[in-house]
Amino acid sequence: MKNKRQALVTGANKGIGFAIAKGLAEAGMAVWMGARDRSRGEAAVAELRGEGLDVRFLQLDVADPESVQRAVATLSAEIDALEVLINNAGIIIDVTTPPSQVRMEDMKAVYEVNLFGPVRVTQAVLPLIKAAQNGRIVMMSSGVGSLALITDPTSIYSSVNLLDYTSSKVALNAVTVSFAKELESLGIKVNAVEPGHVQTDLNGNTGVLTPEEGAATAIKMALIGADGPTGGFFGSHGRQPW
């Protein structure tokens, strides 16, 4: 594992995160599969190892600063550099409550995972990413993270009005740009991606795309070359509007 290019995927025990981890491992990377729950994470690792892929479990709760620090300590003891970070972990708490009735504690919980989590993890692993040549950071955003799309009546995303989830993804897109600006001179590329309407536990498996289809753009942006973009927002059809 140490002789390969290294990747970390958060929320990797199921859904899009699992598909991303599998895709990166199939591309020849050694992949750390981050997950809150040890039993689920280890089960996911066992499944991919059974397919001959080079993956390892990393217990990681992106909403818990101490968990993040423990995970980074584990990584730092095992590897010298991290080439790819995929900030995939995310939650939705409630899809039925109108904005005027969303509880502040629920909104804070969503932000803790969807927004502060990616910032927390990125900051913590940045020394390892800087130690790699041409590091790549991918933020898993959403079509509802685009102000242009959620205000466009012709877009499917305009029908979604989730105060906490939507605003967390809009903010994550801004975070992406901020990191991209800081790290561009170091050759580190930071981009946000939207997977499309994917069948996941997050949406009660109501999506139309498979997790593998949803993972494709994140994998592509994780593997872009030196001439690839940074500070952008991308989907399966290319660059997306902010």
Segment 69-98, tens digit of pLDDT = 999 999 999 999 999 999 999 999 999 999
Q: Which residues contact 182 (CB under 8 A, 6 or more apart)?
A: none
- The mean pLDDT of 128-142, rounded to a whole number, is 96
Residue 147 near residue 89 (C-beta atoms within 8 A): no
Would you tell me how many other CB atoms lie within 10 Å of the CB of residue 182?
12
- The tens digit of pLDDT for each residue in 25-53 reads 999 999 999 999 999 999 999 999 999 99
Location of structure tokens 């803790």? 112
Fold of 6-239: Rossmann fold (3.40.50)
The least confident of 60-64, 107-111, 132-136 is: 132-136
Give residue 237's pLDDT.
86
Q: How confident is the model at residue 209 (pLDDT cuts 50, 70, 90)?
A: confident
Look-up: residue for tokens 């130690």? 131
Rounded to 5 degrees, what angle do the CA atoms 87, 229, 20 make? 35
Identify the pLDDT of residue 202. Answer: 55
- Other residues' Cβ atoms within 10 Å of the Cβ of residue 163: 17
Which pLDDT score, from 0 to 100, does residue 196 have?
84
Q: What is the DSSP string of 164-186?
A: HHHHHHHHHHHHHHHHHHHHGGG
| Better-scored residue on pLDDT, 232 or 236 | 232
Residue 234 has pLDDT above 70, yes or no: yes
Mean pLDDT of 11-24: 96
Structure confidence by residue, pLDDT tens digits, 110-134:
999 999 999 999 999 999 999 998 9
Q: Can you give the residue ranges of every domain in the chain? A: 6-239
Of residues 66 and 236, more confidence is placed in 66
| Whole-number percent of the chain with pLDDT over 90 | 88
Task: Report the pLDDT value the prediction gives residue 225, as an integer from 0 to 100.
Answer: 96
User: What is the predicted pLDDT for the residue at 135?
Assistant: 97
Instruction: Give the DSSP letter string of 90-125.
Output: -----SSS-GGG--HHHHHHHHHHHTHHHHHHHHHH
In the chain, what percentage of residues exceed pLDDT 70?
95
Mean pLDDT of the chain: 94
**Cβ-contact 35, 41 below 8 angstroms:** yes
211: confidence class by pLDDT, cuts 50, 70, 90:
confident
Locus of tokens 């990797």: 12
Residues taking part in catalysis: 165
Residues 6+ apart with CB under 8 A from 28: 4, 5
